[in-house]
Structure 1
Amino acid sequence: MARYESPTYAIIRQDGPFELRRYETFATSAVDTKDFSGRDGFGTLFSYIGGKNQPAIKMSMTVPVINTMKEDGLSMEFVVPKTHLEQGVPEPLDARIRLQDYHEHLAAVVRFSGSVRPERIEAALEQLKQWLVRQKLTAVGPVRIARYNSPFSLPMLRRNELWVEVVLQED
C-alpha cells in the first residue's frame, strides 16, 4: 500500500487501543453529508483535490478521511497536504466545500477495525468515554471518525479511529 500523508502528531500516552496525541496544526476541506458511507461527500471532495479549485491545482490524496459527528448529520473531510498549507490552500469552486483549520491540540483516540457502522461507533465511543474518565481527561470537542483505508479493503484489515479533542482535568 502506498504511504499517504497524514496530520503530524506525537503520542503522549499509549494504553492498548487508546492513545493521547498532541496534533500539530493542520487543515481540511469539508462538506456536509448525511450518512456514514460518505458516497455523496467523497465525490465532491475528490473533485476539489482533483483540480476543481482556484487556481486549478491537483492535490495528493491524504489520510485519514475524517467524519465529524454533528447534531444534524456529519461532515466528511480530507486533510490538506502540508505543502498547500505553506503555499496557500486552493479555494474551492464548489460552494458546499468549506476549509477548516485545526490548531495544535490534544486528542484522545481509540482504534478499531471493521466496517464503520453506527453500532461499532457507539461501542468504540463508550470505550473511549470510560478511558477518558480513567485518564482524567475532559472532552472539549465533537467526536471524529478517522478512516485510513479504501472502502475496498477487507473490513478486518481496516484501520479506523475515533478522535475527540481533550484537556487534562484540574485536580
Structure 2
Amino acid sequence: MLSTITSIIGQVVDSALSIVGIRSGTEEPAHTSRRLTDRVEIRTYGPRIAAETTVAAGEEAARNEGFRRLAGYIFGRNHRDDKIAMTAPVSQGIRGGSGDKIAMTAPVAQATQATDVGEGYVIKFFMPSECTMATLPTPDDDRVRLTEVPGETVAVLSFTGDRGPAAVALRSEELLETLRAKGIEVTGDVAAWFYDPPWTLPFRRRNEVVVPVNA
C-alpha cells in the first residue's frame, strides 16, 4: 500500500513539473555537441535502439497514433505482458508489474517515410541506454518494431512554442538554409524531436528539428 501511495504521489509531482517543462528522471541519448551558430549545433550520437512505427496519416494525426502504439508497447503490450503504469506522457517513469521495466526516454522522434499506402510518418521512442535487442520484450502489435539506430552526426535547431506542421516546416527550412550557407552537406531527411507533453506551457517546450549531416 505504501509503495502504491508513493508511486501515485510521484506521478502527480512529475505531471505538475512537466507543465513548466521540467523533465524529471527522463533519460536522453548520450551525445557530444559543438555550436555551429547561435541557433544551430552539431551533435554526434552513438548507436541506439528504438521502438518505431510507421503511420500513413497527416503529421499531427500520425504523431498521436504513433505515440499510442508505442506507448502501448512500453506500457505492457508486449510478449512479457508487463503491467507498466505511466507516470506522465513523454516525460515518464514506468513501473512494471512483473519486475521488468522500460523507462521512457526523450526525445520522441518523427520523420517521413514512403509506405505502400502513400507517404507516412515514422514515430520512434528511443530505448534506455541499458537495453539491448536481447533484453527488450517483443511487441505484441506487429506495427511496432525494434530497430538498431546506427551512430550518426546531426545538425539540430531547437525552438519553443508551437510545434504544429507549419512551425516544424518553418524551422526545418531555417535549419537547411543555415547548413547551405555554412557549406555543410546534408545526408538525410529532416526529422522533428519533441521532449514535452502537450500540456507543457508553450514557451517552456523543448522542440527540435534534426537532419543527418556529413561528419
Give the counterpart letter for 1:70 in structure 2: Q
Q: CA deviation at 1:161?
A: 0.3
Corresponding residue for 2:11?
none
Q: Deviations over 1:120-146 (max 9, x none)?
A: 112111111111113321111221100
Q: Give, in whole Å, the separation in 2 of the partners of 1:29 and 1:49.
A: 9
Corresponding residue for 1:16?
38
Counterpart pick for 2:198 among 127, 135, 151: 151
1:139 aligns with 2:162: no
Give the counterpart letter for 2:137 in structure 1: P
So what's the TM-score if we normalise by structure 1?
Answer: 0.89
Map 1:69-108 onto structure 2 (within 5 A). Answer: 69-71=112-114, 72-85=119-132, 88-108=135-155
Counterpart pick for 2:171 among 124, 133, 154: 124
Map 1:15-34 onto structure 2 (within 5 A). Answer: 15-33=37-55, 34=57
So what's the TM-score if we normalise by structure 2?
Answer: 0.72
Q: Deviations over 1:17-41 (max 9, x none)?
A: 2110111111111112223332212
Map 1:29-68 onto structure 2 (within 5 A). Answer: 29-33=51-55, 34-37=57-60, 38-56=63-81, 57-68=100-111
Moved more, 46-55 or 15-24: 46-55
Q: CA deviation at 1:3?
A: 3.0
3-state SS of 2:187 partner:
strand
Q: State whether residues 109 and 123 of structure 2, in contact with CA within 8 Å, keep that contact through their aligned partners in structure 1.
A: yes
3-state SS of 1:139 partner:
coil
3-state SS of 1:124 partner:
helix
Q: Give, in whole Å, the separation in 2 of the partners of 1:90 and 1:135.
A: 43
RMSD over aligned CA atoms reads 1.7
Q: Give, in whole Å, the separation in 2 of the partners of 1:143 and 1:80.
A: 21
3-state SS of 2:156 partner:
strand
Larger Rg: 2
Q: State whether residues 8 and 24 of structure 1, in contact with CA within 8 Å, keep that contact through their aligned partners in structure 2.
A: yes
5+ residue gaps, structure 2: 1-21, 82-99
Q: CA deviation at 1:90?
A: 2.0
Moved more, 97-106 or 82-91: 82-91
- The aligned length equals 168
3-state SS of 2:189 partner:
strand
